[in-house]
Amino acid sequence: MTEPRVAVVVRTKNRPDLLERALRSITSQTLAEWECIIVNDGGDRDPVEALVSVLPPHQREQVRIIHHETPRGRWISANAGVLAATAPLLVLHDDDDTWHPEFLDRAASYLEREDNTHRGGVVSRIEIVWEEQTERGFVETGRDIFQPQLTAPTLSDALLFNRFVPIGFVYRRSIHQELGLYDESLPVVGDWNFALKVLTRGPLEYLGPVPYAYWHQRPGQGGNSGNSVIEAREDHRRVDAQIRDAALREYVQQHGIGLPLYLTKFIDQRLVDVESRLVAEVERYSLPERAGRTIKKLFGRG
């Protein structure tokens, strides 16, 4: 086997049907110099071993499996794969997502160019694949481009919420030496927390307008077929608030409370102004009273 150019870390647990699809996505890449580390986080060993055993011999040699005897969590599993990787480039491939066959080739070629040595990584445009699981397998119900209005994956945009998910982000493994591993204390949004650090380090670019990464989502489906971003919605809100509060506390300890204190009132007053104008329009056109109550609720004052 030649030296791998990209390490692909796949976290999985008792989802052999999804893992099989993910492995097809990886083994179908036009870039052949990859290594794959599958981290089985407390799931049944046999289905994972069986899926790898039927790969062609040369591809089977490129795959390693790490079995956790008991579930240890998303980001402990991600770090286990990161630490086992040897390739200079790295990407997390969630077991329910897929790629265009040219994704790894295009991403690696971009990062290996001399004029991009300063780039910490590169992001593909991401296409959401809506699907549902049926007796016949997974059936696609639609597609949408994720965040099509963005011109680049910027820090300013990412401050609001995560603007790219792991399936579309190839980065240099050496970044972990600078920024540390994924935060294992976070049950969710560890990818967003890490992306903020990467974007603080320096700007990123898109590979181009074509989406080479496919983010599969299954609304309304739970259990082993569910998406964490949908099933763990409340966890996402809670941890998001904790991360923001910790960052604000760190800022205030270093710079004082003045600027946040001013901005809190400034932003609130702008919302009051917008609310007042909307209520005035409701009264002007004699709209039902419930419209005014709805506006107040939207602004958290009803």
Q: Over the stretch 22-44, which tens digit does the pLDDT of each residue have? A: 999 999 999 999 999 999 999 99
Spell 237-263 as b/e; 16+ CB within 10 A means b.
eebbeebeeeeeeeeeeeeeeeeeeee
Q: Given this model, what pLDDT does residue 187 score? A: 93
Sign of the C-alpha dihedral, residues 9, 15, 18, 19?
positive
The pLDDT tens digits for 131-183 are 998 888 889 999 999 999 999 999 999 999 999 999 999 999 999 999 999 99
pLDDT at position 286, please? 64
Indicate whether 301 pLDDT > 60.
no
pLDDT-derived band at 283, boundaries 50, 70, 90: low
- State residue 282's pLDDT score: 66
Q: Are strands 137-146 and 98-99 parallel, antiparallel or unpaired?
A: unpaired
Q: Say yes or no to pLDDT of 208 above 90.
A: yes
Residue 210 has pLDDT above 80, yes or no: yes
**pLDDT given for residue 223 in this prediction:** 64
